[in-house]
Chains A and B, each alone.
Chain A
Amino acid sequence: MTASPRAAMQANLSKRARTLVTPEGLSLPLTVGGKGARASALILDLVILMTGTIVVLVILSAIGFGLFDMGSSPDTNPVLQGVLVMVILFMFLARYGYFLWFELGPRAATPGKRLVGLRVAARDGGRLSAEMVIARNLMRDVEVFLPLFFLLGGGQEAGVAGWAAFVWLAVFVLFPFFNKDALRAGDIVAGTWVVEASRAKLKEAMSLAPDRQDTYRFGEAELSVYGEHELQVLEKVLRDDRPGALREVAEAITGKIGWQLGTGDEREFLEAFYAALRGHLEGNMRFGKRKKDKFS
């Protein structure tokens, strides 16, 4: 039962996996950002944008009204005029400048994207240029803001023309669902895509634990039971270090290779087995023999 959702997730992940070849000829795995992650990044950005707009407008209007004495109008009060100009320019910048500014930065991601771990990258593996970022964000206007204003403004009440506009805008909104890289129209025009920007921490080396080759000796037959996949599962279990899981895995392994294990020795045994198995598999690897998993 538990296997099927995990398998589905794995399939989904591998469907989004891409390879990028650097100029050094090294292939780097990339994961295309999922539609859910991108949608939540967009919603986060819109929330940030709206909150920011409201705060700034409140401040500006406080300034405006503070200086507003009865009998003056924008025509005669230069400060009020300045405030109005600032409001208009601010609204303009909020709509067009926010995404542009952040995606031109070194992380090529808006705050929303950064929070969900995404970034913009050039699709051809080259460098991301300013023009690309500008192009993809100009298209955002028809993809995000027009549909948004359309919905908020009740545009669908305009009869047939309203519905035509609705269908037309829906084409843009639904665009990412109809291509494998989840590209929106702006990505196509700019030659960009949105990929996951994960950061990993360097974890401890595994074989620094005291050498227990003398206590636990594993023979060729015992080590050839498992492959690389099982080794990496074991690595994860050891790094997580949860007693229940350790016990379970230790029992599974001893059962498989026909050993008896006393209680309390699980971690010691697993560390020794991990080191031996990895040494064995890596040794074979150097001779070009790889064993993917226990079935191969």
Chain B
Amino acid sequence: MVLALFRKAEIEPPADIEAASLRSDRFRLEREVEWQRLDRIVTALEKNAPRRISDEDLLELPVLYRKTASSLAVARETSLDAATLAYLESLVRRAWFQVYGPRIGLFGWLRRFLGGGWSAAVRAIWLDICIAFAVMVAGTIVGWLLVDQDERWYYSLVPGGMAGGRAPGADPAALQETLGTAENSDGLGVFAAYLFSNNTGVCIMAFALGFAFGVPTLLLLVYNLALLGAMFWVFQEASLGLDFAAWLSVHGTTELGAILLSGAAGLHVGRTMAFPGDRSILAAMQTAGVRAAQVMVGCTIMLIVAGLLEGYVRQLVGDTPSRLAIGGTMLALWIVYFAAMPAPKERET
């Protein structure tokens, strides 16, 4: 209380109002204490220090904002004092940004996001998910067929560093070894972190490239899945197809899901750009972009899970049935979450 009184005294009361010879200056002097009070509140809000604002000030904020806004409206019609007008415009603008600013913090947003915002956004882009899924399946088949026809395709599809001995006609024992486990969990944390950061980069690119009508996104999906198809062929040739599928499914159901969603998000933006519907292209793209952004944040979360699964679980769990079980469970979990989680209620403001 004492502190509050002390603070109030900081705002200098205006000089003798009657001394001002102009009517518009008297108008200003009568109100400037309120303006400066608003200024102080807004400054504290901008500095992200709402605790410095007293309770009364906070309660008064909407009133002060409206008073100042109406002062500006009156001043525009009655005053020719450029400095005062500039001050009021800047103050009302700053207050407007705070009063109508985001009402939800990062953590509140996350809670709302996990509690249904994410799944709702995913459901809203179902058509794009279907398209992206079809493209991914097609990509895998293309990769398979190409290598099946001519083994040399494998070398142009899979970059040398990534193949790591997994070449056509390789010794089945050597292939089996690439599907193996590590003896203990040492060093796997680094691996998981690396995988996460790398894969998220790929997903963000898949989304961002969607801007060009979605075409680059589709190309990226086809290429990545063709690579998978080609590799699958190599293992199938060595009759290790099921083992490879199990090895991949541990993290793959989550990771490919994230890639599918980010590709669909990019496609959603690109498709809206090409076919905005009844609305203006900018308005349509904004809705699509905001929706796609939510899906993308979800992809990051999925990739963290995938990185952990890939870095730890896959390296520690060796046998094919358990791997398939883990992968299948993850897939089921994701599908149930996306399909069944209800959208959060719109809050009345």
Contact = CB atoms under 8 A, between A and B. Distances in A.
Contacts of B83: 200, 202-203, 235, 239
B239 interface: no
B211 interface: yes
B275 to A, nearest CB: 16
Interface string B267-280: 00100000000000
Interface stretch (B2-10, B23-31, B335-343): B23-31
A108 B78 contact: no
B126 interface: no
Interface in A97-136: 104-108, 119, 121, 123-124, 126-132, 134-135
A81 B189 contact: yes
A236 B211 contact: no
B161 interface: no
B220 to A, nearest CB: 12
- Name the interface size band of chain A: 35 or more
B202 to A, nearest CB: 11
B28 to A, nearest CB: 6
A284 B83 CA distance: 20
Interface in A120-161: 121, 123-124, 126-132, 134-135, 138-139, 141-143, 146
A190 interface: yes
A199 interface: yes
Interface stretch (A5-13, A23-31, A246-254, A256-264): A23-31
A134 B293 contact: yes
B60 interface: no
A18 to B, nearest CB: 12
Contacts of B201: 141
Contact of A22 (B25, B69, B286): B69
Contacts of B187: 74-75, 81
Contacts of B193: 84-85, 88-89
B69 A121 contact: no
A139 B211 contact: yes
Nearest to B282: A188
A78 B84 CA distance: 63
B78 A285 contact: yes
Given A75-B187, A82-B189, A190-B289, A278 B194 contact: no
B21 interface: yes
Interface stretch (B98-106, B146-154, B224-232): B98-106
Interface string B87-101: 101111110111011
Contacts of A141: 201, 204-205, 208
Given A81-B190, A84-B190, A189-B285, A91 B197 contact: yes
B244 interface: no
Interface in A259-280: 275, 278-279
Contacts of A134: 293-294, 296-297
Contact of B87 (A81, A202, A213): A202
Interface string B149-181: 000000000000000000000000000000000
Contacts of B91: 200
B136 interface: no
Contact of A208 (B19, B84, B286, B291): B19
Interface residues on B, range: 35 or more
A206 B81 contact: yes
B15 interface: yes
Contacts of A74: 187, 190
Given A22-B69, A22-B96, A235 B81 contact: yes
Contacts of B32: 202
A205 B28 contact: yes
Contacts of B86: 200
Nearest to B208: A142
A37 B188 CA distance: 45
A296 interface: no
Interface in A62-99: 74-76, 78, 81-82, 84-85, 88-89, 91-92, 96
A190 B209 CA distance: 15
Contact of A199 (B94, B189, B207): B94
A85 B20 contact: no
Nearest to A212: B21
Interface in B192-239: 193-194, 196-197, 200-201, 204-205, 207-209, 211
10 contacts: A24-B70, A84-B193, A85-B189, A104-B102, A104-B106, A123-B286, A200-B90, A207-B21, A235-B82, A275-B22
Interface of A: 22-24, 26, 28-30, 74-76, 78, 81-82, 84-85, 88-89, 91-92, 96, 104-108, 119, 121, 123-124, 126-132, 134-135, 138-139, 141-143, 146, 172, 185, 188-191, 197-203, 205-208, 211, 213, 228, 231-232, 235-236, 239, 275, 278-279, 281-282, 285-286
Given A121-B97, A191-B289, A197-B94, 4 more contacts: A22-B92, A85-B193, A132-B293, A191-B285
